[in-house]
Amino acid sequence: MVSSLVLPVAIPMFTAAVLLLVPNLRVQRWVALVAAFALLGSAVSVALRVHAHGIQVLHAGSWRAPFGITLVADGLSAMLLVAVGIVSVAATAYAFAGLDPRRESAGYHPVLMVLLMGVSGAFLTGDLFNLYVWFEVMLVASFVLMALYRNKMQVRAAFIYVTLNLLASSILLTALGLLYGKAGTLNMADLSHRWSGGALPPFYGAMAALFFTAFGIKAALFPWFSWLPASYHTPPAAISAVFAGLLTKVGVYSMFRVFTLLFRGLPPVAPTFLLGVSLVTMVVGVTCALSQRDFRRVVSFNLVGHIGFTTMGLGLATPLGVSGSLLYVLHHILAITNLYLIGGLFLRMRRTSEFDRLGSLFRTHPLPSVLALLALFALAGVPPLSGAIAKIALVQAAFEARAYVAGSVALVTSLLGIWSIARLWDESFWKPAPPDADKAGPLWQQVVPIGGLTLLSLGLSVAAGPLLELTSTIARDLLEPGAYVNAVLEGG
Amino acid sequence: MELLLALAAGSLYAAGLYLMLRRRLAQLIIGLGLLTNGTNILIFTSGGLTRGIPPVVAPGAETLEPPFADPVPQALILTAIVIGFGVLAFALVLAHQVHRTSGSDDIGES
């Protein structure tokens, strides 16, 4: 039953419609939670089918590729869909306690579902214009979530976010227009097939540069990352956690997809350039994190820094490098979502996330603090937590590819990352709190999703062997896209 | 005709980007609108310009004989116009909010 490929898009879409008809907030929460579990279930079923039977293709309306819109699930899409399911369950569960009622009644639940629909669609589509449409669905939903019931700082942050992302969309659309003019098709498999013979169209490099810029802005790579730290720490945790976990990853995913399928004929300087950009992103992100004195801003800059690791493998362009980056994406989605939720938890307890007003959290709340400790040091990559395994794979790949500078920079950045996280730990958890600090307890509805994500993050370390095997298979398929092209053009 | 449209698209891009670099909210939004329109003209032009040959199968014929106008770019533009319109409307509302909360339409001020 191939039609189940529609489910990860259809479930959130129908749930959003249903939620709009339900005025009661308690009912909305439960409906959203059930839908999130259904989304996770459908994603797992897609992943199992991909694992058992190979790449799954669905031609919408039975229009064969390249004429119709194709939905394709390969290993990469399936893996990321499962991550979308996990994040959506965590966010909807957290929203039971983590939102102010005014924002919730302004439509948080339906809009979140639209956002999830956009993310799933972007991961599944095999058509470039369709990818642009899913990007817009996702963006408009995220704009609304960011701007729902806001204060002055949030409106300004939302405006920066909106402007830069709209610019990225325009650039993407420009690239699509040029590409359609030269190739006459927007189906990624078809394009890959046409351009694999070595006959490259005019403006090939320019198109690659436009795609790189558009996805680079969405993924928050250097020098286009400024919108992210300016905006991600302002909305409440149930919103920013979803943004941090999923939105930047869609940019990274698109980069992987487009550059492994379409732009395989670029000169070797292109991956090296991407590698350079990734390294600068890492260094700048993590050094900026060191200069911040606010829990959520430190996490935001760490998010930027670690995006560099997720694109580094693509720059190395070796199977081990790509595999390490994919593992890093998976780890990063879980860890960063968790950290934003944790930030929200402590924000609720102390009413601020500035270091000057935090402190003694470990003494007053040992259990949430231990969860935070695990998530923080998983993000920083302290062995044996999940970040370390992906980082070791990446550094090993760099040294094997004789990119000694890249490997060393990654190592030094990891050290700086650990420093910035250790500083955060010291400032918020260990140092004595200022005497007039607010003291509210944690809510169990907030702690449960955080605990779940932490457990999954620990599970990544336990299952590191099989996972690395899985990501190596996906990486091989990405670098040799013949199977993907055949599945789309022949099958279905 | 291609040259004319290319120049039009180029000017719209240039004007749009220039306005987006300004600090006034209203100008920024106008720039955004110009940029999306420039993109639409670019897609239209790069899809190939034809005159008077609609992609309609002639009576009695089985298939469409080339040359005919490619309908896909027009479908793409139509989608892009709708999306651009929605997003622009949202940006206007947001700009109104910024103006109301900060009392200025200068985004450099905090």
- CA-closest candidate to residue A311, choices A356, A279, A354: A279
Average pLDDT of the segment spanning B48-65: 81
Residue A350 pLDDT grade (very low, low, confident, very high; cuts 50, 70, 90):
confident
Distance CA A396, CA A401 (A): 9
Average pLDDT of the segment spanning B21-26: 85
Q: Give every CB contact of residue A336 below 8 A, 6+ residues apart in sequence.
A: A241, A244, A245, A299, A302, A303, A306, A379
| pTM more than 0.90 | yes
Distance CA A441, CA A252 (A): 37
With pLDDT > 70 as the criterion, what percentage of chain A qualifies? Answer: 97
A280: contact with B, CB 8 A cutoff: no
Burial profile A275-310: b = 16 or more Cβ within 10 angstroms, e = fewer: bbbbbebbbbbbebbbebebbbbbbbbbbbbbbbbb
B2: contact with A, CB 8 A cutoff: no
Is residue A469 classed as helix, strand or coil in its secondary structure?
A: helix
What does the DSSP 8-state code read for residue A187? B
Chain A residues near residue B94 by CB distance under 8 angstroms: 143, 147, 155, 158-159, 162
DSSP state string for A333-366? HHHHHHHHHHHHHHHHHHS--BGGG---HHHH-H
Chain A residues near residue B33 by CB distance under 8 angstroms: none
Is it the case that residue A95 has pLDDT exceeding 80?
Answer: yes
Residue-wise pLDDT tens digits, A249-288 = 999 999 999 998 888 888 888 888 999 999 999 999 999 9
Crossing angle of helices A269-290 and A204-219, rounded to 10°? 20
Nearest to A167 among B20, B43, B86 (CB): B20
Q: Give every CB contact of residue A139 below 8 A, 6+ residues apart in sequence.
A: A118, A165, A166, A169, B87
Residue A208: what are its φ and ψ, rounded to 5°?
A: -60, -40
To which residue do tokens 């606010």 refer? A294
Residue-wise pLDDT tens digits, A278-316 = 999 999 999 998 888 888 888 889 888 889 999 998 888
Residue A229 pLDDT grade (very low, low, confident, very high; cuts 50, 70, 90):
confident
Least confident of A55-64, A445-454, B13-22: A55-64
Chain B residues near residue A187 by CB distance under 8 angstroms: none
B72: contact with A, CB 8 A cutoff: yes
Q: What is the pLDDT of residue A355?
A: 76
Q: What is the pLDDT of residue B24?
A: 85
Is it the case that residue A1 has pLDDT exceeding 60?
Answer: no
Least confident of A174-178, A383-387, A451-455, A468-472: A383-387
Q: What is the pLDDT of residue B53?
A: 80
Could you give the angle at the alpha carbon of A476 between the alpha carbons of A473 and A480, nearest 5°? 140
Residue A438 pLDDT grade (very low, low, confident, very high; cuts 50, 70, 90):
low
Q: Are A303 and A281 in contact (CB under 8 A)?
A: no
Query: What Å distances lie between residue A83 and A330, A437, A474, CA to CA?
Result: 7, 37, 15
Q: What is the CATH number of domain B2-50+69-102?
A: 1.10.287.3510
A and B: number of Cβ contacts within 8 A = 85
Q: Are A134 and A80 in contact (CB under 8 A)?
A: no
Q: What is the pLDDT of residue A123?
A: 94
Residue A56: what are its φ and ψ, rounded to 5°?
A: -100, 135
Is residue A318 classed as helix, strand or coil in its secondary structure?
A: coil
Q: What is the pLDDT of residue B108?
A: 64
Is it the case that residue A489 has pLDDT exceeding 60?
Answer: yes
Distance CA A413, CA A378 (A): 15
Distance CA A153, CA A230 (A): 10
To which residue do tokens 């339906």 refer? A110
Least confident of A73-82, A367-376, A399-408, B64-73: B64-73
Residue-wise pLDDT tens digits, A455-475 = 998 888 888 889 889 999 999
Distance of CA A212 to the CA centre of its chain: 17
Domain spans, chain B: 2-50+69-102
Domain spans, chain A: 2-490
Q: What is the ipTM of this complex?
A: 0.92
Residue-wise pLDDT tens digits, B29-46 = 899 999 999 999 999 998
Interface contact B80-A143, CB threshold 8 A: no
How many Å lie between the alpha carbon of B59 and the closest alpha carbon of chain A?
A: 24
B102: contact with A, CB 8 A cutoff: yes
| Residue with the larger pLDDT of the pair A122 and A482 | A122
Nearest to B83 among A136, A143, A182 (CB): A136
Chain B residues near residue A133 by CB distance under 8 angstroms: 79, 83
Work out the mean pLDDT of chain A and round it to a whole number.
Answer: 87
Work out the mean pLDDT of chain B and round it to a whole number.
Answer: 86
Average pLDDT of the segment spanning A8-17: 93
CB count within 10 Å of CB A217 equals: 23
